[in-house]
Amino acid sequence: MAQAIVTPLTQALAEGKLTREELKSFMRRSDWPSLRRLAVWLALVAATTTIVTLAWNSWLIWPAMFVHGVVLVHHFSLQHECVHYAVFRTRWLNDVVGQICGLIIILPHRFFRYEHCDHHTYTQLNGEDPELIPMPKSIWEYLFYISAIPYWRAKFTELLRHASGRLSKVELSFIPTVEHETVYRDARAMLTVYVAIFAGMAIAGWWDLIWYWLIPLLLGEPVMRFVRMTEHVGRPTVSQLSENTRTNLVSKPWAFLCWNMNYHAEHHYVASVPFHALPELHEKLKDHIHVEEGGYFGAHRDILRQLFARKS
């Protein structure tokens, strides 16, 4: 008889730290809390856009664009939650908001959903997890990844390849055959929108969107790479979620920006729990998961410690 797999979730249930009724309540979705959160989010985007405008004719525009860019790239976190249909109870709202986020950060929503599904199925398994970020072998490899240069190179190559009707061998493994044409159409539609935007700017002679969108996006993406590394990099490449995923305890502003995805181990255990219930779920599971008390910087200290230990 096969032995039951013990997970932090089953441990918490067995010890009475979490009841099935509590778990069901955590999994409950609602439109209104998310709509209120989205309204605050849009106000934040408007505020950072205003900061760029106020700094327009001075050197301060560069730090202003960086701050604005950090907010823009965190649309990834919102899109990620929409991929899981965990933001809104109304299903189509997740799709619409996710599509808009994808357009902002140049990440087709449907493709991301299929890729991310395999990430959850094969978390941190070499050759199977399509989102696996390898442990860097040198400080230069570490810094190169954080620069976001390899990320943008991969994303633009990916988008152009899909638009031309081609999928890589890895992509063929997680995108259903019936969805190949849809993925191609999504990429072509996204490129069409971008071409239309730039054509409109050229006709109008108004290029300010580059300073409000593209440059901030490039400036902010290294911060997202810094954050994404803390989720799994440096953790064992094994199937046990108690070992392969970190939860990072961060300040409230950071948690707001990442839509509580700093509670990453909890998210991987119960991906259907919406972002606003993850802090409560953390309190139930924290004794059974890997928690980085030092937050993102603590996670990077751990990564760098491992990197230098390998070199010595």
- Whether residue 7 is contained in a domain is answered as no
Residue 61 has pLDDT above 50, yes or no: yes
Note the pLDDT of residue 96: 96
Note the pLDDT of residue 233: 97
Distance between CA 136 and CA 306 in Å, rounded? 10
The answer to whether 244 and 124 are in contact (CB under 8 A) is: yes
Higher pLDDT, 285 or 228: 228
The structure tokens listed for 300 are 């990077």
HSE (side-chain half, CA atoms, 13 Å) at 295: 10
Distance between CA 41 and CA 36 in Å, rounded? 9
Rounded average pLDDT over 110-120: 96
Note the pLDDT of residue 19: 83
Q: Please, which pLDDT band fits residue 9 given cuts at 50, 70 and 90?
A: low
Q: Give buried/exposed letters for 50-87 (b at 16+ CB in 10 A, else e).
A: ebbeebeeeeebeebbbbbbbbbbbbbbbbbbbbbbbb
- Whether residue 3 is contained in a domain is answered as no
Residue 6 phi, psi (nearest 5):
-90, 125
Note the pLDDT of residue 4: 46
Beta-ladder partners of 291: 247
- Whether residue 47 is contained in a domain is answered as yes
Residue 264 has pLDDT above 90, yes or no: yes
Note the pLDDT of residue 5: 54
Higher pLDDT, 80 or 312: 80
CA of residue 105 relative to chain centroid, distance: 11
Distances (CA, A) of 80 to 84, 85, 102, 154: 7, 9, 10, 19
| List of long-range contacts for 181-187, beta carbons under 8 Å, 24+ apart | 182/110, 183/108, 183/110, 183/111, 183/114, 186/108, 186/109, 186/110, 186/111, 186/162, 187/108, 187/111, 187/159, 187/160, 187/162, 187/163
- Whether residue 192 is contained in a domain is answered as yes
Q: Please, which pLDDT band fits residue 22 given cuts at 50, 70 and 90?
A: confident
Number of domains in the chain: 1
Note the pLDDT of residue 2: 40
Range of the domain at 208: 16-311
Residue 263 has pLDDT above 90, yes or no: yes
Residue 6 has pLDDT above 60, yes or no: no
Beta-ladder partners of 199: none
Q: Please, which pLDDT band fits residue 20 given cuts at 50, 70 and 90?
A: confident
Rounded average pLDDT over 180-193: 97
- Whether residue 161 is contained in a domain is answered as yes
Distances (CA, A) of 283 to 124, 167, 269: 24, 42, 14
Query: What value does the mean pLDDT of the chain take?
Result: 93
